[in-house]
Amino acid sequence: MNNNRKRLHPVRSVVLSERMPVAELIELRRSNLDYPAIRRPLTRGECVDIPRPCPWVSCRHHLFADVTKGGGLKLNYPDLDPGQLAHSCSLDVADAGEHTLESIAPLVNTTRERVRQTENIAIGNLVSILRGRNND
């Protein structure tokens, strides 16, 4: 039986023996000490020309997995490997132009109604930000 239900996986945090200053953490991220020959793109301009499907599953724009509010890992496509996705980057989908709710729902493995709710939340957040800027 094929179970398409989303599965949550706990995310384990790395425990450091002593706290590192933020500047050092940023430098550590930029240097990619684990993979010095492979530099992870830090801007949209750097990642546009990377072959698709995108290999950087930990990127916040990758469609394979999401991090929940509780720190868990939600696999949007639990039965697929990241390399099997037809569309792996939400920024690529956005660059393609306007889409209907029906065309977005399968990309994020959810329903049309949930996409509509997420869109309304995002629009509300943008309105709040713009109202805050106008009050300054």
Tokens standing for residue 93: 């989908």
The CB density around residue 31, as the number of other CB atoms within 10 Å, is 11
- pTM equals 0.63
Q: What is the pLDDT of residue 13?
A: 42
Does residue 10 or residue 65 have the better pLDDT? Answer: 65
The sign of the CA dihedral 30, 35, 37, 43 is negative
Q: What is the pLDDT of residue 8?
A: 53
Question: 42 falls in which pLDDT band (50, 70, 90)?
Answer: confident
Q: Delimit the domains of the chain by residue range.
A: 7-16+47-135
Cα separations in angstroms, 3 against 11, 77, 79, 96: 22, 11, 8, 31
